[in-house]
């Protein structure tokens, strides 16, 4: 079983920020949180990952709570192309991914 | 960024034939490669993990004699579905990573067995 829980679906208006939450209450001190997304019929695309500090790259920002039990992926200005299933993942044994059902984000025009 | 190429992207074949899928890391040397399977409307399921030059580690319930994995170099891994049957029809996805780096995924192979 995946070590994370995410809402099954979310809607976001085009141009607005999309905030995708993830709970990982059993996270251990040296476990990273990874975020990927999968657009229909494609392989997952890496978005961002973090340990304890907030992270930002050209795709998104990752906000990790101080106790590290939850995180939020932020897409600052969602576009229709951001419609996808978003996965929050804590690896097993440092590298093995167990994908949960993820959050299906629908960006609406 | 890191690029992983998977080939073929789509294959249709008759029941009983064997199908080979290639996974290549194009711009980095991958210490580990992973194979996943995804059925319609389901999430990805890890099938096996392989390191270059050593035998793959299969997840529980995945038949190693059915799904042969070869990881001959730091840039190439292959998955052979032997004697494929209709129930093996699925979306097969590989990923590759270097030590301490995120996994990067190929675009998948859609396998249809008639």
**B62-81: pLDDT as tens digits:** 999 999 999 888 999 999 99
User: What pLDDT digit, counting tens, does each position of A2-55 carry?
Assistant: 789 999 999 999 999 999 999 999 888 788 999 999 998 899 999 999 999 899
Instruction: Assess A50–B contact: CB distance below 8 Å, yes or no.
Output: no
Please state, rounded to an integer, the average pLDDT across all residues of chain B.
94
- Residue in B105, B106, B109, B111 to test binding to A, most A beta-carbons within 10 Å: B105
Q: What Cα–Cα distance (Å) separates residue B87 from each residue in B10, B17, B35, B65? A: 16, 13, 18, 16
What pLDDT, on the 0 to 100 scale, is given for residue A71? 97
What pLDDT, on the 0 to 100 scale, is given for residue A94? 73
Q: Which residue has the tokens 């270097």?
A: B98
What pLDDT, on the 0 to 100 scale, is given for residue B99? 84
Closest-CA distance, A38 to chain B, in angstroms, reads 10
The whole-angstrom separation of Cα A70 and Cα B5 is 33
Instruction: Assess A49–B contact: CB distance below 8 Å, yes or no.
Output: yes
Nearest to A106 by CA among A35, A7, A34: A7
Cβ-contact A80, A107 below 8 angstroms: yes
Q: Which residue has the tokens 């891994």?
A: B77
Distance between start and end Cα atoms, chain A = 35
Closest-CA distance, B18 to chain A, in angstroms, reads 23
User: What pLDDT digit, counting tens, does each position of B17-47 carry?
Assistant: 999 999 999 999 998 999 999 999 899 999 9
Name beta bridge partners: B69: B79
CB spacing of A45 vs B105 below 8 angstroms: yes
- The token duo for B68 is 């042969």
Q: What is the DSSP letter of A96?
A: B
Torsion of CA A80, B101, A89, B46, to 10 degrees: 100
């Amino acid at each position: 079983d995946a070590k994370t829980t995410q809402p099954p679906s979310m809607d976001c208006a085009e141009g607005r920020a999309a905030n995708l939450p993830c709970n990982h209450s059993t996270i251990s001190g040296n476990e990273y949180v990874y975020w990927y997304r999968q657009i229909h019929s494609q392989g997952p695309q890496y978005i961002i990952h973090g340990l304890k500090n907030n992270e930002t790259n050209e795709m998104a920002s990752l906000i990790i709570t101080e106790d590290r039990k939850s995180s939020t992926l932020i897409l600052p200005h969602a576009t229709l192309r951001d419609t996808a299933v978003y996965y929050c993942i804590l690896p097993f044994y440092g590298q093995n991914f167990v994908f949960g059902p993820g959050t299906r984000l629908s960006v609406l025009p | 960024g890191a690029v992983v190429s998977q080939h073929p992207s789509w294959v249709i074949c008759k029941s009983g034939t064997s199908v080979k899928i290639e996974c290549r890391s194009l711009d980095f040397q991958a210490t580990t490669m992973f194979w996943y399977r995804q059925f319609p409307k389901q999430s990805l399921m890890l099938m096996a993990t392989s390191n270059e030059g050593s035998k793959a580690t299969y997840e529980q319930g995945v038949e190693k004699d059915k799904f042969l994995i070869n990881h001959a170099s730091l840039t190439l891994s292959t998955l052979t579905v032997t004697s494929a049957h209709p129930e093996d029809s699925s979306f097969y996805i590989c990923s590759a990573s270097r030590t301490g780096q995120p996994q990067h995924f190929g675009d998948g192979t859609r396998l249809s067995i008639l």
